[in-house]
């Protein structure tokens, strides 16, 4: 596992995020030394969705109105059917995603998470992978969908994966950690 000590990672989510797509990356990134902050439009706690039912809760660290891309190195967008659909209706959430992109900070979108990238209008011409249910949405927004078997695709400062089943959690998080380490090394060595 790569050392991400000193890196600040934001996870943008609301009620209905897919349980494994927030809890597992958060745990693995924290074990790699990163400081992980949960950002949400709601204060208090938000509730996960797992196998068609409400699940565990997690504490919101920072409300969306108080969040700034300046405070973080990376943004993670977990999926779930409900979570990104709710977030994409929030102009503040979409603007935060767009600001991360414009500042060339890494954005990692999981499963349905790229729906926010569509609304931020930042995927035109990018190669991506896709969960089958949002493939046409991504194509209509101008993304080129990889026909390969890659679960993770990295294109500039956006990386995404199409699925986050329990068997792929560790591999996907390792890919993200490796890419984060490489991205930070290249970005900061060049500045």
Closest CA to 97 of 46, 58, 137, 39: 39
DSSP 19-58: HHHHHHHHHHHHHTT-EEEEEESSSSEEEEEETTEEEEEE
Active-site residue 111, yes or no?
yes
142 Rama sector, left if φ>0, alpha if ψ -120 to 50, beta otherwise: left
* Exposed / middle / buried, residue 17 (Cβ in 10 Å: 0-12, 13-18, 19+): buried
Q: In terms of residues, how long is the chain?
A: 191
The residue annotated as part of the active site, out of 74, 112, 159, 175, is 112
Report how far residue 104's alpha carbon sits from residue 90's, in angstroms, rounded to the nearest whole number: 22
Q: Which residue of the set 111, 152, 173, 177 is catalytic? A: 111
Q: How far is residue 39 CA from its own chain's centroid?
A: 12
Residue 190: how many CA atoms within 13 Å on its side-chain side? 6
Active site residues: 111-112
């Amino acid at each position: 596992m790569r050392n991400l000590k000193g890196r600040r990672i934001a996870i943008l989510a609301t009620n209905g995020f897919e349980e494994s797509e927030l809890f597992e990356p958060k745990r693995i990134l924290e074990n790699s030394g990163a400081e992980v902050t949960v950002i949400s439009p709601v204060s208090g706690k938000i509730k996960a969705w797992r196998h068609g039912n409400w699940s565990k809760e997690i504490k919101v660290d920072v409300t969306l109105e108080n969040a700034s891309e300046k405070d973080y190195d990376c943004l993670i967008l977990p999926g779930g059917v409900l979570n990104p659909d709710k977030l994409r209706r929030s102009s503040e959430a979409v603007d935060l995603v767009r600001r991360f992109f414009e500042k060339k900070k890494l954005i990692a979108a999981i499963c349905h998470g790229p729906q926010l990238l569509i609304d931020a209008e930042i995927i035109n011409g990018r190669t991506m992978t896709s969960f089958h249910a949002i493939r046409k949405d991504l194509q209509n927004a101008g993304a080129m969908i990889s026909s390969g078997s890659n679960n993770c695709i990295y294109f500039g400062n956006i990386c995404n994966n199409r699925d986050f089943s329990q068997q792929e959690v560790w591999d996907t998080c390792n890919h993200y950690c490796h890419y984060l380490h490489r991205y930070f090394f290249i970005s900061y060595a060049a500045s």
